Structure 1
Amino acid sequence: MPNPNDLDPSKSPLAFFGSEVRLHREKAGMSQKDLGKGLYCSGALVGYIETAKRFPTEEFAKRCDKIFETDGSFCRLWPLVARLALPSWFRAYAEFEAAATAIRTYQAQTLYGLLQTEDYARAVMRTSRHRDLDSLVTARMERQRILTRANAPEIWVVLDEAALRRRPADDEVMRAQLQRLLNYRYDPKMIIQILPFSAGFPASLDGSFTLLDMDEGADFVYSEGVGTVQVMAHPDEFKQAAFRYDLLRTAALSAEDSAELIASLLEDL
């Protein structure tokens, strides 16, 4: 394990978080094992976090504030740390997503990340054999904070029926996920439509994509491929993608009929 004194706190939010934990722990005269007992974790985990080798959970940050009486400073820092857990190629998009005034997305295979429950997200990410699954799930849940902001973006989601029928092995995970989708039925800032199999070939055979409307700066289109990310900000490209999106939501079931389909799938589980 590296020496905490060799780490540069300015290197990243994670390094700064770890250095602050170490600073307050030493000021309190506590060993890593002592602090671990108060945080309900091992002293080894405390050491890993102090040396920026593990990402802390939000609960870890809350307990640090309580033990060190730091008036919420660790909780205020934690969102920056959690965002760092996202893959490097995705971090810039997450920043834009958080600043968007409106989000329109078509998802062909899985449910949209902002709508996923923690257990569903874990099941999806587990298939890619990620090394630090807990950190990635935590980061995805942190992204969802934008849904509860006073100025939350307007979100229009078109889900291919395949995304609803492709489910994790645990039916209970899917039940909770479908119920969460139904809970948005009367949310004034959320519209969810299902593109049924009966609609034939979708207008986006090449997969999922997302349009972000920005209050300042260029609007853009985001899509992912195998090992690649594509961001298109040219007005003509955005216009073309927006037209394709309009075709998708026109072919999709209405929001009311979509909710009924989701409810029927929930009953079948």
Structure 2
Amino acid sequence: MNRKELDPEKSPSAAFGQRLRTLRDERGWTQDELADRMGCSGTHISAVETGRRPPTRRFATNADRVFGTGGRLERQSQAVRYTALLEGFPEYVTHEARAAEIRLYEVGVVPGLLQTSEYAAALEEDAVRREAITIEQADERVDLVAKRQGALLRSPSPLISVVLDEGCVRRPMGPPAVMDAQFGRLLEFAELPSTVLQVAPFSMGARRPFSLPITVLTMPDRSLVSYAESAQRGHLERENSAVLPILAAYHQLQAEALSQAASVAMIQKLRKGIL
């Protein structure tokens, strides 16, 4: 029997297929035996393993049940479905949706959790203009922004602390009406009982501890997860020993940033065109 060799670096589909095959081989199951356990055909298993058919969320969730992998396959399958996203981000989103506390710092643009749909669309339209992504991928990104925000509408609400570099609120995105609505969204966010919104002013200079966006999540079991992005990929860190220094630096950032009252006042002035 010919066995197609897989290169997990080739694509997210190939990486998922390799993981599925490895789990099956470890248990000594044939493709048909795995198919019987999952309620599909051996041909379907073969197509997913060789990357010819992308795994649906239902397929990945079913595979997690059969292998007892605790949701890892479902999280990996998101990288296949969300092709326009940086490596590591789809898995981060699954943690974000369960976090008890979210602390984030953003540079340059308003972060996705606070974006209006119009602002998100304007941001992605520019990426399409630069031919960095396709129109379909832009729609995918805008859709994910809405899904992420919807996932946070739960009870109890997560505690969300946001520090925006001043460039986030000074950089225009789309026509004036889009920015006016976005400023309104930020002001509404600051009024919520479980949120804190601060602006890190340009005057902080070298006292700003981060030069790239950073997020620290506190999970329901009080474990910590951090997420940071470079231009090419995202990195998820789950070791508390590595996340604690980032959390300490975040607290320093909050201490140096404008208070929420001063930050709201700045945004209100920008909205009125005073600054």
Q: TM-score range by the shorter chain?
A: 0.5 to 0.7
**Paired residue for 1:180?**
185
**Paired residue for 2:268?**
263
Q: What runs of 5+ residues in structure 2 fail to find an aligned partner?
A: 1-42, 48-52, 60-76
Report the AA paired with residue 152 of structure 1. S
Q: Rate the CA distance shift 1:14–1:124 in 2: closer, same or farther, 3 A.
A: farther
Once superposed, what is the RMSD of the aligned Cα atoms? 2.8
Equivalent residues of 2:189, 2:195 under 8 A apart: yes
Say whether residues 1:100 and 2:99 are aligned partners.
yes
Q: Rate the CA distance shift 1:84–1:188 in 2: closer, same or farther, 3 A.
A: farther
How does the TM-score come out when normalised to structure 1? 0.67
**Paired residue for 1:221?**
226
Report the AA paired with residue 56 of structure 2. S
Report the AA paired with residue 117 of structure 1. T
Equivalent residues of 1:203, 1:244 under 8 A apart: no
**Paired residue for 1:69?**
none
**Paired residue for 2:90?**
91
Equivalent residues of 1:99, 1:214 under 8 A apart: yes
Equivalent residues of 1:223, 1:229 under 8 A apart: yes
**Paired residue for 1:142?**
147
* Offset, 1:187: 0.7
2: CA distance, partners of 1:231 / 1:203:
22
Report the AA paired with residue 12 of structure 1. T
Q: Rate the CA distance shift 1:220–1:122 in 2: closer, same or farther, 3 A.
A: same
* Offset, 1:127: 3.0
How does the TM-score come out when normalised to structure 2? 0.66
The count of residues paired between Structure 1 and Structure 2 equals 200
* Offset, 1:205: 4.1
Equivalent residues of 1:84, 1:91 under 8 A apart: no
Farther-moved stretch of structure 1 (237-246 vs 146-155): 146-155
**Paired residue for 1:230?**
235
* Offset, 1:251: 0.7
Percent pairwise identity: 29
* Offset, 1:135: 2.3
Farther-moved stretch of structure 1 (244-253 vs 214-223): 214-223
Q: What runs of 5+ residues in structure 1 fail to find an aligned partner?
A: 1-5, 16-79
